A and B are shown apart, each in its own frame.
Chain A
Amino acid sequence: MKDREIELIHKAQNGDSFAFEQLVSGYDRQVLSLAYSIVGNPDDAQDIYQEALIAAYRALPKFRIESNFFTWLYRIAVNKAINFKRKNLKYQVESITKSGSDSYAPDHDLRISLSDTPEEVTVRKELKTIIDEAVLLLSTRERMAFVLCHQEGYKLREAAELMNCSLGSVKSYLFRSREKLKAHLKPYMEN
């Protein structure tokens, strides 16, 4: 850990909230981004962000300096996001099977490139929305495993540590999430 970070941690541990703000300023975008990925709306994402960072500030006196601060903070955020979703699921996701969405070629290259036609870009945008909705239909832990491993690029072992569960569990959550997404997207893939 860098000297500057250690210094800020010591100050924040002694109640210097300004030092805490500086300390988390390099990481809080990732916390907010994770929260947004999990809940899918900015209001709830902000709530998770606040809960996670305030919890971290309160728990900071117990933080061991030899640990990695970001991992410690991110683990708090992951747990807040999991628990938040469990308590506060307050919106329903509409059916993803929309009428009129029957023009997706199964072997279409889904990546956006400069040569894409406006129609292709529109198709991808719509697909992205459908995937977003399908992800929100996963269980919280499946969604978390998917976001961490697929979206954020964490290794299974790292995701297990962040989610405070076994490697096998994360693997199950991730693979199950893929199967569920596949089932949701089947109508589009077939078309």
Chain B
Amino acid sequence: MSADKLKEQVLLYLYGELSDDDNLLFEEDLAKYDNLRTIYEEEKKLHELYSLRSDKTIPDSLLQASRSELRERLREENTGSTAKSRLSKGIIYILFGSPVKTMVALSMLTIGILLGKYVSIEVDFDDGIEVHQRTALMDGNISSELLGSDALEIADMKIIAYDADSEEITISVDAVASVSIRGNISNNKIQTILAAALQSDLGPSIRLKSIELLKMNIEKKEIVNALIQALQGDDNPGVRLKAVEALAPYTDNTDVKNALLNTLKRDGNAGVRIQAILALKDNKDPKVLEVLKHKMESDENEYIRHQSKESVSGWTIDKTGREI
């Protein structure tokens, strides 16, 4: 085999691109042939050297700034869309085409309402007003008794859609009101609020507390999804770490397992990755083995490489009865 071909095999091995059979053959060859071993040692050293670049942690401030700018640009997108003219036509119709309905709509808006942040108000001109939560997991009607709180602040009203034929309008506002809710920890609505707080509260301590409370009743799919989303998207490594801990007993669930594998592969925080290894080490899925083997070779953190190696060793003994 030519030197180029040997090198290609070495690189494919290092990147985990060989099949299991080819891997075995390669390792046998590696033990037998000095020239192959020389190439391998050199490429492996370079591989580790290049991995020094791997830690490209994005500062939270940069992500938040990007998200704010995106929000602005999305608003511009919406106002600049072709629906604009249709919308204008609709507004004119509201204002001048049907005074009674306009009065109803405007008076509803002035008392307008809601608890929590970011809500959407849908006004049905025949039946009065319905309010629906727009936050991640908080769908449902809010009764009219909850409307009109003095503590309520409404900002940033947007007309999302208006259909001139059916006279149906969808308006969104950012509304904030302070409300206390009392109930059992397993209550669906309490859990929904905790899950929403986990996904949107700006304070990491609140998000951490939410996880602690949610993990007492984690069997619900929505709760699992909220924890997975926190694991994948929360800026705070402490929150992600807690999310791994909470999800650890559920690695038989495919979504949970994939999320933890993704964390192990890509999370920038070594502590979170270590926790993911601990959560996954007893899962006997070949996908887990594949990632652990990769981590064993290439993770920048020595402890993680060691833990991965130990986990792989245990996995192989359990599965095939022999050590690798």
Contact A178 B50 (CB under 8 A): yes
List B residues 62-79 near A (Cβ within 8 Å).
Answer: 62-63, 65-67, 69-71, 73-75, 77-78
Interface residue B97 (Cβ < 8 Å from any Cβ of A): no
Interface residue A36 (Cβ < 8 Å from any Cβ of B): yes
**Closest Cβ of chain A: how far from B236's Cβ, in Å?**
12
Neighbouring A residues of B301 by C-beta, 8 Å:
111-112
Report B1-16 CB contacts with A as 1/0, cut-off 8 Å. Answer: 0000000100100011
Chain B, interface SS category? helix
In chain B, what residue has the closest Cβ to A20? B74
Q: How far is the CA of A28 from the CA of B255 in the complex (A)?
A: 19
Contact B50 A181 (CB under 8 A): yes
**Closest Cβ of chain B: how far from A103's Cβ, in Å?**
16
Neighbouring B residues of A132 by C-beta, 8 Å:
53
Say whether, besides A15-B161, A111-B48, A33 and B58 are in contact (CB < 8 Å): yes
Neighbouring A residues of B101 by C-beta, 8 Å:
none
Neighbouring A residues of B78 by C-beta, 8 Å:
15, 17
Contact A110 B11 (CB under 8 A): no
Interface residue B99 (Cβ < 8 Å from any Cβ of A): no
B17 interface neighbour in A17, A25, A107, A156, Cβ under 8 Å: A156
B52 interface neighbour in A20, A36, A124, A175, Cβ under 8 Å: A124
A150 interface neighbour in B50, B62, B63, B302, Cβ under 8 Å: B50
Interface residue A185 (Cβ < 8 Å from any Cβ of B): yes
Interface residue A113 (Cβ < 8 Å from any Cβ of B): yes
Q: How far is the CA of A29 from the CA of B267 in the complex (A)?
A: 11
User: Could you say which of A52-60, A85-93, A94-102 contacts chain B?
Assistant: A52-60
B77 interface neighbour in A17, A112, A178, Cβ under 8 Å: A17
Q: How far is the CA of A182 from the CA of B11 in the complex (A)?
A: 14
Interface residue A161 (Cβ < 8 Å from any Cβ of B): no
Interface residue B136 (Cβ < 8 Å from any Cβ of A): yes
Q: How far is the CA of A92 from the CA of B301 in the complex (A)?
A: 32
Neighbouring A residues of B192 by C-beta, 8 Å:
none
Size of B's binding interface in residues, CB under 8 A: 56
Contact B52 A127 (CB under 8 A): yes
Interface residue A37 (Cβ < 8 Å from any Cβ of B): yes
In chain A, what residue has the closest Cβ to B71? A21
Say whether, besides A50-B69, A110-B49, A124-B52, A29 and B58 are in contact (CB < 8 Å): yes
Neighbouring A residues of B63 by C-beta, 8 Å:
28-29, 32
Contact B58 A155 (CB under 8 A): no
B73 interface neighbour in A30, A50, A127, Cβ under 8 Å: A50
Contact A32 B58 (CB under 8 A): yes
Q: How far is the CA of A174 from the CA of B126 in the complex (A)?
A: 63
A contact residues vs B (CB 8 Å cutoff): 2, 4, 14-18, 20-22, 25-30, 32-33, 36-37, 42, 45-46, 49-50, 53-54, 57-58, 107, 110-114, 124, 127-128, 131-132, 135, 146, 149-153, 155-156, 174-175, 178, 181-182, 185
B contact residues vs A (CB 8 Å cutoff): 8, 11, 15-17, 43, 45-54, 56-59, 62-63, 65-67, 69-71, 73-75, 77-78, 81, 83, 118, 134, 136-137, 160-161, 172, 222, 225, 229, 232-233, 235, 255, 265-266, 294, 300-302, 305
A-B residue pairs, 7 tightest by C-beta:
A17-B74, A26-B233, A113-B302, A128-B52, A26-B232, A131-B53, A37-B56
- Using A50-B66, A185-B49 as known contacts, list a sample of 8 further A-B pairs with CB atoms less than 8 Å apart, ordered by residue number in A: A21-B70, A28-B67, A32-B63, A36-B58, A46-B66, A54-B74, A155-B15, A174-B11
